[in-house]
Amino acid sequence: MKENVKIFLVALIIGMTVAFFLSFKFQDEVVFAINPKVTIFYVGTYNDIEVANKKSESYDNSLIYEDNGVYKIVIGVYHDDSALLLMNSYFRDLGISFYQEEIKVDTTFLKEISNYELLIKESENSYYDNINTSILELFKEYLGKNN
């Protein structure tokens, strides 16, 4: 009986050590795998692509995202909470009224935009427009590949 307890304790310690090591080594990948979602900032929804195209001309660097026959004019796509808050206040400071919605994406897209979100967090807001344009281009490519 004592021998079984010793074996159990040794196995438990080994398992905890391996789990502890792996949790630090693969921390970012686990977060991406658990929550493969981004928040899109959009300024309007339309049932007609023609109307959506006309309205999107009012917003520089916007793109149209089709979701089950509804066309949304997207002005931003973010995953990181800090980047979400910064861009939320940036768009509000510009006087843009917008809506937010979470959508599912794959982990490769999250990895691609994570560097840009780091730039948002580290940069002054005068650079946000250029960074946002790059993120929207990545999102456009992602939509093209997955639709």
Residues of the domain holding 47: 35-146
Same domain, residue pair 78 and 123: yes
Same domain, residue pair 59 and 96: yes
pLDDT per residue as tens digits for the range 48-68: 999 999 999 988 889 999 988
Same domain, residue pair 51 and 30: no
Number of domains in the chain: 2
Separation of alpha carbons 109 and 23, rounded Å: 22
CATH number at residue 93: 3.30.70.1070
Same domain, residue pair 20 and 4: yes
**What string of pLDDT tens digits covers the 147 residues of the chain?**
677 778 877 877 888 787 777 666 665 555 545 668 999 999 999 999 999 999 999 888 899 999 888 999 999 999 999 999 999 999 999 999 999 999 999 888 898 999 999 999 998 988 999 999 999 999 999 988 876
Same domain, residue pair 115 and 65: yes
pTM over 0.75: no
Task: Find out whether 44 and 59 touch, Cβ atoms under 8 Å.
Answer: no
